[in-house]
Amino acid sequence: MSTPARGYAAHSAETPLALWNFERRTLRADDVSIEILYCGVCHSDLHFARDDWGMATYPVVPGHEIVGRVTAVGSDVVTFKTGDVVGVGCMVDSCRQCSSCNSGLEQYCAEGFTMTYGSPDRHDNTLTQGGYSDSVVVSERFVVRMPEGIDLKSAAPILCAGITTYSPLKHYGVKPGDKVGIIGMGGLGHMGVKLASAMGAEVTLFTRSESKVAEAKRQGADHVVVSTDESQMAAMTETFDFMLDTVPVQHDINPYLNALKPDGTHILVGLLEPLDPAVSGANLVFRRRVLAGSLIGGMPETQEVLEFCAEHGITCDVEMINIDQINEAWDRMQKGDVRYRFVIDMASLKGDNAA
């Protein structure tokens, strides 16, 4: 017997999200059933549902920054029990046998991981549905434990924005004293500033707008560079060990490569298209610089970033909304009018608001 669920779904690329009744699957032996308390609102939700990437499926309930409470577990579940407070991020399954999966890097699964929404389930081929809903059923391997004492509302975005910035900083070995540039001050960028600072790096935030300078310093950036000011950019020549590039739209990365020391690394986490303008080979070759990319993080590392954030008192700056405000929130997010993440209070799906 599947369980009735309700959520907000997109039924096409053009229609607003609307209340939708659907079903969650019957628990398999390794499944955990979760009552959703909060769900962060990620740019990917909007891009997927509006079919900006040409991969949309409908209806789709978006949402992959899920925090909730365990309400039931399957017979083989060992890690979680009813009442545990848990999180689910961007992935809900993978092949579990390739070398990436065996290394806890499920995001690089050779067969492709199963996305939290809009992916066919590996067992029954039904489409997965995400966290803008009252419940979700997920295999325990893809569930993380929320650390004791962490603020659950503002921790939800760690499950996507946090892990996406933490994973490359960790992988490429950012250490105390390193000079790290963070490009962009959105949901990802502001988490990058906090995480790199907590790792002991000297952090410089690059922003296009003068108006974000004071705010970036409040977030913990040691320095701020206005990237549209050529003299400020020139003054940064060969300064940085790492550049974490969170900008999801086209931008010229050559001036940022020039700001890296020899052997410095530029890490893309936002841009998926062919780079335009093109990268000058000379900007890499003459200083042995590295151009790299990184995608979210694996399950062990997702647990790790939650512990790291709890230990260092890091949370995401969030604006809470009720579920019936989601369409307005998407419009505002598209205009960049959010500091820095909307989070849905799912209690609003139960009351009169949801009718």
Interface with Zn ion, residue 92, by CB under 5 A: no
Interface with Zn ion, residue 44, by CB under 5 A: yes
CB of 71 to Zn ion, least distance (A): 25
CB of 262 to Zn ion, least distance (A): 34
Q: Which is nearer to Zn ion, 143 or 260 (CB)?
A: 143
Residues 244-303 that bind Zn ion (CB under 5 A): none
Could you say which DSSP state residue 28 is in? P
Q: Which is nearer to Zn ion, 40 or 264 (CB)?
A: 40
- Over its C-alpha atoms, the chain yields an Rg (Å, rounded) of 20
CB of 77 to Zn ion, least distance (A): 21
Interface with Zn ion, residue 94, by CB under 5 A: yes
Locus of tokens 């977030």 = 219
Q: Which is nearer to Zn ion, 98 or 284 (CB)?
A: 98
Q: How many residues bind Zn ion (CB under 5 A)?
A: 8
CA angle 33, 37, 41 (to 5 degrees): 110
- Three-class SS of residue 260? strand
Interface with Zn ion, residue 98, by CB under 5 A: yes
Interface with Zn ion, residue 105, by CB under 5 A: no
- Residue from 70, 144, 160, 310 touching Zn ion (CB under 5 A): that is 160
Rounded to whole angstroms, the maximal C-alpha distance in the chain is 65
Interface with Zn ion, residue 91, by CB under 5 A: no
Give the separation between CA 44 and CA 201, rounded to whole angstroms.
28
Q: Which residue stretch of 7-15, 87-95, 198-206, 302-310 sits at the interface with Zn ion (rule: CB under 5 A)?
A: 87-95
Give the separation between CA 36 and CA 21, rounded to whole angstroms.
15
Q: Which residue stretch of 38-46, 133-141, 282-290, 324-332 sits at the interface with Zn ion (rule: CB under 5 A)?
A: 38-46
Residue 78 corresponds to which tokens in the numbers above? 């060992």
Interface with Zn ion, residue 144, by CB under 5 A: no
- Residue from 17, 101, 310, 323 touching Zn ion (CB under 5 A): that is 101
DSSP track, 108-158? G-TT-PEESSSSB-TTT-PBP--SSBSEEEEEGGG-EEPPTT--HHHHGGG
CB of 306 to Zn ion, least distance (A): 16
Give the separation between CA 182 and CA 91, rounded to whole angstroms.
25
CB of 103 to Zn ion, least distance (A): 10
Interface with Zn ion, residue 193, by CB under 5 A: no
Interface with Zn ion, residue 42, by CB under 5 A: yes
Interface with Zn ion, residue 338, by CB under 5 A: no
Interface with Zn ion, residue 109, by CB under 5 A: yes
* 91 bridge partner residues: 115
Q: Which is nearer to Zn ion, 154 or 265 (CB)?
A: 154
Give the separation between CA 315 and CA 38, rounded to whole angstroms.
14
Pair 182, 206: CB distance under 8 Å: yes
CB of 104 to Zn ion, least distance (A): 11
Interface with Zn ion, residue 95, by CB under 5 A: yes
CB of 198 to Zn ion, least distance (A): 21
Q: Which is nearer to Zn ion, 105 or 236 (CB)?
A: 105
Give the separation between CA 247 and CA 270, rounded to whole angstroms.
5
Distances (CA, A) of 294 to 97, 251, 274, 291, 322: 21, 18, 15, 11, 32
Give the separation between CA 355 and CA 341, rounded to whole angstroms.
25
Q: Which is nearer to Zn ion, 23 or 111 (CB)?
A: 111
- Note the residues at the interface with Zn ion (CB under 5 A): 42, 44, 94-95, 98, 101, 109, 160
